[in-house]
Amino acid sequence: MENSNFKNIIIALDFDSSALKVAENGFDLASQLNANVILLHVISDSVFYSDSGRSTNTGFRAMGLWKILEDETDIHYKAESFLGRIKTQFGNESDKILVKEGKLEKVIMKVASEFKADFIVMGTHKRNIFKKFVLGNTTQKILYCTNIPILAVPGRM
């Protein structure tokens, strides 16, 4: 399935427990297309990095990274460590790691433009109606503002 038209794939990861599944699917796609990988984590709200009992950091737990959250104070370092472990597990030395701050969909689209991304791989999360209305759906927002193909990997079933 090698296609020289696909050179750069962004794999956007959060710390949800489905992050490993998203990464695996993204790296499989990159391998099939012989494309470069840009691993991206967007820091959008520090509440998602706390251990308040409602944290979405289960991806940290799944990869044995929770200790990083307990010991480190720098969110950038935590995210880089997380992406570094993903890169070690699935990728190779040429893959890039990016940690950016801002509104999720805006940052993902900016990085896609900067790297001339040919594909975006990201997870989706099931939310109840209230959360979906209040928080929105990042994948859906990106779909509306780009022509770049998106592989949306479902999260928890």
For residue 62, what is the domain's CATH number?
3.40.50.620
Q: Which of 108, 132, 131 is nearest to 121 (CA)?
A: 108
The CA angle 18-75-48, to the nearest 5 degrees, is 50
pLDDT level of residue 26 (50, 70, 90 thresholds): very high
Burial of 119 (0-12, 13-18, 19+ CB in 10 A): buried
Query: For residues 90 and 43, which has the higher predicted lDDT (pLDDT)?
Result: 90
pLDDT level of residue 50 (50, 70, 90 thresholds): low
Residue 79 lies inside a defined structural domain of this protein: yes
* Residue 76, domain extent: 8-154
Residue 1 lies inside a defined structural domain of this protein: no
Asked if residue 14 lies in contact with residue 59, where contact means CB atoms within 8 angstroms, the answer is yes
Residue 33 lies inside a defined structural domain of this protein: yes
Q: Where are the alpha helices (DSSP H) in the chain?
A: 19-33, 58-62, 66-71, 75-90, 104-114, 129-135, 138-144
Model pTM above 0.85: no
The residues near 69 (Cβ < 8 Å, ≥ 6 apart) are 49, 51, 57, 60, 78
Residue 85 lies inside a defined structural domain of this protein: yes
Residue with tokens 């706390």: 50
Residues pairing with 39 in the sheet: 11, 97
Domain count, the chain: 1
* Tens of pLDDT, residues 61-119: 455 544 544 443 478 888 899 999 999 999 999 999 999 999 888 999 999 999 999 99
Residue 2 lies inside a defined structural domain of this protein: no
Q: Give the Å distances, CA to CA, from 58 to 5, 53, 94.
A: 35, 11, 27
SS3 of 47, please? helix
